[in-house]
Amino acid sequence: MSMSFLPEDMNWICRPCGVKLQPSTVELSYLGSVFSVELPACPQCGAVLISEELATGRMLQVEQLLEDK
Amino acid sequence: MDQKELREWESRCIQEEPPACTAGCPLGVDARAFVQAMVQGDMQTARRILEKTMPLIGITARICEAPCENFCLRKDLGGSIAVGLLERSCISSAPRQGKILCLPSRGKKTGVLGGGPSSLVAAFDLAKKGYAVTLISSTSPGGWLSDMPSTVIPPEILAEELAVLEKMGVWFESATTLTPDVLAEVRTRCQTVYIGHDGELDTELCNLLANVAPETMALPEEGLFTGGIADAEHLWRYITSVAQGRAAALSMDRHMQGVSLTAARPRPRHGHTDLFTSLKDVNPKARIIPSTENDNYSPDEARQEAERCINCQCLECVRHCVYLQEFGSYPKVYSRRVYNNEAIVKGTHQTNTFINSCSLCGQCEILCPHDFSMATLCLEARQRMVEENRMPPSAHAFALDEMRAALSSQFELVRMAPGHQSSSAIFFPGCQLAAVRPDQTIALYHHLRAQWRDTGIWIGCCGAPAHWAGRKTEFREIGEQFLQSWRKLGSPRVLTCCSSCLQMFRKQLPEVDAQSVWSITAPPLNAAAPAKQLPLALTDPCTARNDKATQAAVRRLIADLGQELADLPLSGELTECCGYGGLMDNANPELTRKVLENRVSQTSADFLTYCIMCREQLARTGRPVLHILDLLFPETARSAEEAPLGISTRRANRRALKIRLQEEYFGERISPPEEWQGISLKIASELLPILEKRRILTDDIRQVLWLTEQSGRYFEHQSRGIRLTSARLGEVFFWLEYVLNGNEYLLQKAWSHRMVPAKVTK
Ligand code: SF4
Ligand code: SF4
Ligand SMILES: [Zn+2]
C-alpha cells in the first residue's frame, strides 16, 4: 500500500497549531503490518488527515485483506 | 480440525454418493451426467462421459441391456429413464472425443483365450494398464457379436473396435481349437491367462473353468482367470460378460503386481447407494417411445427423454438455505474448505467470510438425512479462530459492542418486584426487546405482575452474541456473572420472551429454570386481533426450532386472540433464520438481504412473529410484520408497516427504559448523564442511512465531539467554514465533518477505519 493519498482539497488548517496541512510520509499499521503512504498531516503536531474516500475505499479493502491473512 | 475429524464430517454428507443409475451400472458409468449432457443436446460431452468408463464403446453403447434402468428413481414415476436408448442415440451422433490412453509398458505379458465380448474387454483393460496382450481365438474375434443383426451392430463397427484394440497393442493369434494344450503353451509365455467362457472353447478346456471366485473371477489354478459366464438366456448377457471381463482384468493386474486380489477392492454396488433424493416434488412423466421403426430416438425425442431425468442429488439442505447456495457447493465440500482454511499458514484465509456468514440456525440438520449440522461445523470453526487469534476483529465487532453495552452498568438493571424482598420469578425480556419495544416491555411486565405480584425484572443480555461469535471464554464469563446475580435474587424462575435467551439458558445454565413468557401467559382481557385482520404468516424464530412446547403455546395464544394464520411451509422445526442469528448480518449484510428477500417470497401474507429481531429484520424488506405483543397489547401496538429501528434509536431506548423503570417503579435517584451526552447535535437526514450502514452510533459521535472540545484539536477548512475531527474509541477511529453553529454541531459526514496512522518524523 505504498502510495500517495492526497485529497484534491488540501486547504485544511490544523487547530490549535494554525498551520496548513502538508503532504507527509505517514505509517499506517494494522494487525502487525505497516505501510508507508503519503497523506496530509500537520507539520507541527503530526496530526494526520484520513479522508472519507480513503477510509471507505482502499483502506477498508486493505483492512479486510489483513484480517483474512 | 484434524484429518480424522474432517473425515467424520465428510462422511456425514452423502451428496457425493453415486446416483442409483451409476450404482446399478456394472461399469459405474456416470449416467446422470451423461443424461444431463443429453438434455443440453451436447452429444460431444455426453460421449466424452461414456468414454471415461466404457470399454469397446461402439459396441457397449449400442447393445448394453442397461441394468441401470432397473434402479432408476424415475421407475415408478413414468418409467425409468431410457439410458440404453439414449446411449444409442449418442453413439451414432458423435465421433470419438478423446484418445484412449494406455499406461507405459510394464514389460509383462498376459494372454487371453477366446474371442467373445468378455475376452475383448479383458484385452482392452489389460492393454490400457500397460500389459502386452496376446488374444488367441479360433474364429474371428467378436464371438457372438458377429451374429447380431447388422442394424444393431453394423459389421464395420465391430471391425472398428477390433482395430482400436490392435492400435492399443493387442496381438491377435488364431488356433484351430482352444484346448488345454493351447492354454499350456500360452502359459509358458504369459504370466496370467484369461479364458473367456463366451469364446469357442473345447469341452476339456471348459471343464477347467469350474469353481471360479465370483468376486475376483480367479480360477483355483494360480494365474488363471475367467469370465463371460452369462449364457444366451441371460437377461443381461452382454453387460454381465463385460463386467466379468473387467473384474478379471483388475485381478490379473493385481496378480501381476503381486498385490492382494481383494484388499480395498471396490465392491460392485448392484444398485445400492446412500444417496438420498427427495421425490416429493417429482411428478410422473411417461417415457418417450421412439417413433421411428428402427427403435432409435430422433434428436428431439432424445432430449425430451433426457429431460425426464430427475438429476438425482441430495442437496436437501442446500435447496432451502440461501447461505449454502450462496457459496456454490454443499456441506461435504464446505467441510473440506473449513479444514483447508485452518491448514493455511501463509496466505489468505478465503473461507473466513464463509464461516462467519452461517446464521447457525440449524435448519440443515433437520433437513439432512444424516443430521449434518453446518451450524456446529461453523461455530466450532469460529471458536478455534478465536482461540488461535485468527478471528477477523471486525467480523462481529458491532454486535459484541452492543452486547457489552447491554451488560454494562449504564444499561443493565436487575431488581426484585417493587416493595418485595424476594422474587419467585424474574422477567427477562431479552436485550433486543427492551431496545426496540420499551413500552411493550413495560406493558408485559405489568401483565406478568398482575398474575405474580413478586415478579422482578432484569434488563440485560444472555450473551448469545458472544456464543455466536465463537468467544467461548467471554460467553462462559457472562453465564457465571448471570448465575451470581440470579442466586442473589434467590434463584427465581426466569421468564423470557426471547427464544435465543431461552436457548442459551437451557444449554448453558441448566440449573436456571427458564421458561418462555408465551407458554405461561394468557391474553390480557382487552387483547384481540384487530377486526378483519387477514391471516398472518407466523414465522418461528430459528432458536425455537426445537422448542415444540413454545411453538404450540404461541399458536394457542394466537388462536385465543382470534387471529387466523396463513400457510407458511417452512415453519416450526423447519423455520428459517432472519439473518440476525449467528451474527450473519454482522459478517455478511449482503447475504442477509438475500435471505430476507427469500423468506418473504414464500408467502404473500403479512408476517407475525414472537421474536423482536425477526420482526425488525423481516420489516427491512418492506413487508408488514407484526410482533405478537402488537396483538396482545393493542394500546401499545405498533404498525406492521413500521420501519425497523436504527441502531442509535435502540441504544437510546435502552437508556431511557432503564431510567424510566428506575424512576417510575423503584423511585431511585438517577445517576447524572455522562458529560458527552450533553453535546448538542443535529444530523443531516441524508446522513442517517450512511451512519446505519457504517454502524456509527450517535453516542460515538457525541463522544468524539466531546473529546474534541476537551483537546481543542481539529482541522478547519480554509474557506468552506467546515471542521474535521477524529478520535479513537476502542479499536475504531471515527471521523466527523461538521459545522459548529453556536454550540450546536451540524454533522455532515462521518466515517471510520481501523488502521492506525502515525506521521513519520524526519
Ligand atoms: S432419474 Fe436420472 S439420475 Fe436418477 S437414477 Fe434415473 S437416470 Fe439416474
Ligand atoms: S442434506 Fe446436505 S449435508 Fe446432508 S447429505 Fe444432503 S447435501 Fe449433504
Ligand atoms: Zn497541528
> What average pLDDT does range B126-140 have in this prediction?
96
Distance CA B111, CA B117 (A): 15
Ligand 1 within 6 A of CB of B38: no
Tell which of B458, B489, B522 closes a domain. Answer: B522
pLDDT value at position B234? 84
Say yes or no: B745 and B716 in one domain: yes
Residue scoring higher pLDDT (B555 or B98) = B555
B728, B759, B761, B762: best mutation site toward chain A, by most A Cβ within 10 Å? Answer: B759
Please, what is the angle between helix B299-307 and helix B83-91, to 10°?
A: 140
Contact in structure between B433 and B427 (CB atoms under 8 Å): no
pLDDT value at position B235? 87
Torsion angle of C-alpha atoms B718, B720, B722, B724, degrees rounded to 10: -50
Contact in structure between B688 and B646 (CB atoms under 8 Å): yes
Predicted confidence (pLDDT) per residue in B647-673, tens digit: 999 999 999 999 999 998 899 988 889
Domain count across chain B: 6
Residue of chain B whose alpha carbon sits nearest to that of A22: B759
> What average pLDDT does range B416-445 have in this prediction?
94
Distance B71 CA to ligand 1 centre (A): 8
pLDDT value at position B368? 97
The domain at A2-68 falls in which architecture? Answer: Roll (3.10)
Can you list the residues of chain A whose pLDDT is less than 70?
1-2
Q: B528 pLDDT band (50/70/90 cuts)?
A: low
Total residues found in chain A within this entry: 69
Say yes or no: B74 and B114 in one domain: no
How high is the mean pLDDT of chain B? 94
Total residues found in chain B within this entry: 762
Percent residues over pLDDT 90 in chain B: 90
DSSP calls for B460-493 = ----HHHHHTT-HHHHHHHHHHHHHHHHHTTS-E
Say yes or no: B293 and B341 in one domain: no
Q: At B735, which CATH number? A: 3.30.2310
Domain assignment present for residue B12? The answer is no
Say yes or no: B118 and B251 in one domain: yes
Say yes or no: B121 and B234 in one domain: yes
Say yes or no: B233 and B127 in one domain: yes
Phi, psi angle pair for B298, to nearest 5°: -75, 160
**Residue with CA closest to ligand 2 atom 1:** B368
Q: Decide: pTM greater than 0.90.
A: no
Say yes or no: B35 and B160 in one domain: no
**Closest to B356 in 3D by CA, of B337, B389, B324, B379:** B379
Domain assignment present for residue B311? The answer is no
How far is Cα of residue B247 from the mean position of the Cα atoms in its chain?
37
Phi, psi angle pair for A48, to nearest 5°: -110, 145
Return all residues near B446 (Cβ < 8 A) that are at least 6 apart.
none
CB nearest B759 (choices: A13, A48, A55): A48
Domain assignment present for residue B262? The answer is no
Tell which of B369, B387, B405 closes a domain. Answer: B387
Domain assignment present for residue B101? The answer is no
Domain assignment present for residue B651? The answer is no
Fill in the amino acid letter for B95.
P
Interchain pair A14, B715: CB under 8 A: yes
pLDDT value at position B533? 77
Distance B40 CA to ligand 1 centre (A): 16
pLDDT value at position B521? 83
Domain assignment present for residue B568? The answer is yes
Ligand 2 within 6 A of CB of B378: no
Say yes or no: B123 and B210 in one domain: yes
Distance B311 CA to ligand 1 centre (A): 6
pLDDT value at position B530? 62
Q: B607 pLDDT band (50/70/90 cuts)?
A: very high
Cell numbers that stand for B527 in this block = 387483547
Closest-CA distance, B736 to chain A, in angstroms, reads 9
Q: B526 pLDDT band (50/70/90 cuts)?
A: low
B382, B753, B761: best mutation site toward chain A, by most A Cβ within 10 Å? Answer: B753
pLDDT value at position B349? 87
How far is Cα of residue A46 from the mean position of the Cα atoms in its chain?
11
> What average pLDDT does range B449-467 have in this prediction?
95
Domain assignment present for residue B433? The answer is yes
Domain containing B735: what range?
675-754
Closest-CA distance, A65 to chain B, in angstroms, reads 7
Cell numbers that stand for B253 in this block = 493386474
What ipTM does this complex have?
0.98
For B188, the 3-state DSSP assignment is: helix
Predicted confidence (pLDDT) per residue in B141-172, tens digit: 999 999 999 989 999 999 999 999 999 999 99
Say yes or no: B497 and B615 in one domain: no
Q: B525 pLDDT band (50/70/90 cuts)?
A: low
pLDDT value at position B332? 97
Predicted confidence (pLDDT) per residue in B228-266, tens digit: 997 778 889 999 999 999 999 999 999 999 999 999 999
Domain ranges within chain A, ordered by starting residue = 2-68
pLDDT value at position A1? 55
Percent residues over pLDDT 70 in chain B: 99
Interchain pair A12, B394: CB under 8 A: no
pLDDT value at position B762? 65
> What average pLDDT does range B444-463 have in this prediction?
94
Say yes or no: B380 and B403 in one domain: no
Say yes or no: B201 and B62 in one domain: no
Residue B531 above 70 pLDDT?
no
Say yes or no: B283 and B147 in one domain: no
